[in-house]
Amino acid sequence: MTRRGAWADRAAAQIPRPLDAPRGHAPGHDSDRILLFGAGPAVGWGVTTHELALPGAIARAVSARTHRGCDVDLTASTAMTAATALERANDRALERYDLVVVILGVNDALQHTPPALWRASLADVISAFVEGCPVGTPIVVVGIQPIRSIPAFNGLRGASAERHAQLLNRETERLCGNEQQATFVPLPAPTPSPSDKDRHRTARTYHAWGQVLAHAIVPLLTVDTRLDGDAWHVYPVVGTAGSMGAAEIARQRAVDELAPPGLATTSRLQHILLLAQQAFGAQSAMITIIDRDRQWQLASTEAAVELPRSISVCDLTIRGDGAMIVRDSRLDARFRDNPLVTGTPHLRFYAGFPIESPAGQRLGALCVLDGAPRRPSDDLDVDLLRELAHMVQHELWPSGSDSLRIG
């Protein structure tokens, strides 16, 4: 069994895994935001992009049922166990999620983690999400897949681990039955096709699993409190000039680590800005970064201008996870006395969408601005603004290595 385990570890090193940003995305309005957290199937073994792995599969399956957009952010590690998961759960900014999916247990089954330790550790992880996410956020806990369905463990070690996995799954189901916000969802073994016989996993596997999970996820999602676009937001304070709470410290660290884009990336960012400017008929478009006490521009269609954070409109945008639309700043109590409105550049119209690091910190915004207001009847494509913001994130963090640690 020891030799078999060593062989499996070497074989795993040869299996493709995604190297792109750890998220899945389905376009649409009023997007749902889901966190996928864990190991095993969450990592994306067998495919080279998370859009074909579980994040993308869940996003598309959920969106097809809700007819809304869906973003699935991923925090995963090949070595994560229930006992080590709590630290990673505490690393994530959780206040933006509508639902959390937890996938743990393959490593615990292989290591024969004692059931009492498994139950206590998993309870701590669930509690961390319950406490860190908005009140009432559903937690979906996914059962351990049949271990012998993993080609590397279809032997003696796998048979023993599979029996232990069944024991841990029973513990998980009982735990979720006692936790109001937690729902247990079994994960079936994938059904391989003849063309997949030499593959560890394929996009077809993740598509099937995405359908299974979406069937459980969609009834748990609520939309009655979702606000976006023209809604009058009342944002929680997640950081203002001089504020150094834990969330702001993590956000500022991500700002400090932001590498300047290369020449090729800068040209692509300019292309995105021109698309935004033309789509909204705006005088200018920019990608802003909110620093400790200032706003600076990563890219702009006009000359770069640095502003105090205290008067930045984008500073308010990053306090929410959706678009902020200001059709007429003179009619908006939040901005009518802002120096940018009362003086140069006499800002009247603003539309912005947050730009996030791979770990979820909102660092700045993609925004369009104009000196002329927009009427209530004017159609503003908030979904397009969101798509362009995602394009910016892809250019800045093509690999997303800050969030996905493969270990």
**pLDDT for the residue numbered 304:** 84
- The 10s digit of each residue's pLDDT in 254-289 is 999 998 888 778 899 999 999 999 999 999 999 999
User: Which domains does the chain show, CATH number per domain?
Assistant: 2-220 (3.40.50.1110), 246-396 (3.30.450.40)
User: Does position 242 have pLDDT exceeding 50, yes or no?
Assistant: no
User: Does position 78 have pLDDT exceeding 70, yes or no?
Assistant: yes
**pLDDT for the residue numbered 55:** 96
Assign 231 a pLDDT band (cuts: 50, 70, 90). very low
**pLDDT for the residue numbered 223:** 61
Amino acid at 332: D
- What is the rounded average pLDDT of the residues 156-184? 93
SS3 102: strand
Q: How many CB atoms lie within 10 A of CB 340?
A: 17
User: Does position 403 have pLDDT exceeding 60, yes or no?
Assistant: no
User: Does position 396 have pLDDT exceeding 60, yes or no?
Assistant: yes
**pLDDT for the residue numbered 199:** 60
Amino acid at 271: H
- Average pLDDT of the chain to the nearest whole number: 86
What's the residue count for the chain? 407
State the number of CA atoms in the 13 A half-sphere of 356 facing the CB: 22
**pLDDT for the residue numbered 100:** 97
Inter-residue contact 133 to 68 (CB < 8 Å): no
When comparing pLDDT for 234 and 96, which is higher? 96
* Percentage above 90 pLDDT, the chain: 64
**Helix residue ranges, H only, 44-155:** 54-66, 82-91, 106-111, 115-132
User: Does position 198 have pLDDT exceeding 90, yes or no?
Assistant: no
Contacts of 307 (CB under 8 A, 6+ apart): 294, 295, 340
- The 10s digit of each residue's pLDDT in 41-61 is 999 988 999 999 999 999 999
**pLDDT for the residue numbered 256:** 93
- The 10s digit of each residue's pLDDT in 7-23 is 444 555 677 889 888 88
pTM of the predicted structure, to 2 decimals: 0.76
- The 10s digit of each residue's pLDDT in 332-345 is 999 999 999 999 99
**pLDDT for the residue numbered 150:** 84
Three-state SS string over 161-226 comes to HHHHHHHHHHHHHHHHHCCCCEEEECCCCCCCCHHHCCCCCCHHHHHHHHHHHHHHHHHHCCCCCC
User: Does position 243 have pLDDT exceeding 50, yes or no?
Assistant: no
- The whole-angstrom distance between residue 58's C-alpha and the CA centroid of its chain comes to 12
DSSP character at residue 143? P
**pLDDT for the residue numbered 400:** 58
**pLDDT for the residue numbered 292:** 93
* Percentage above 70 pLDDT, the chain: 87
- The 10s digit of each residue's pLDDT in 246-263 is 888 989 999 999 988 887
**pLDDT for the residue numbered 17:** 86
Instruction: Pick the range with the lowest mean pLDDT from 163-172, 196-205, 227-236.
Output: 227-236
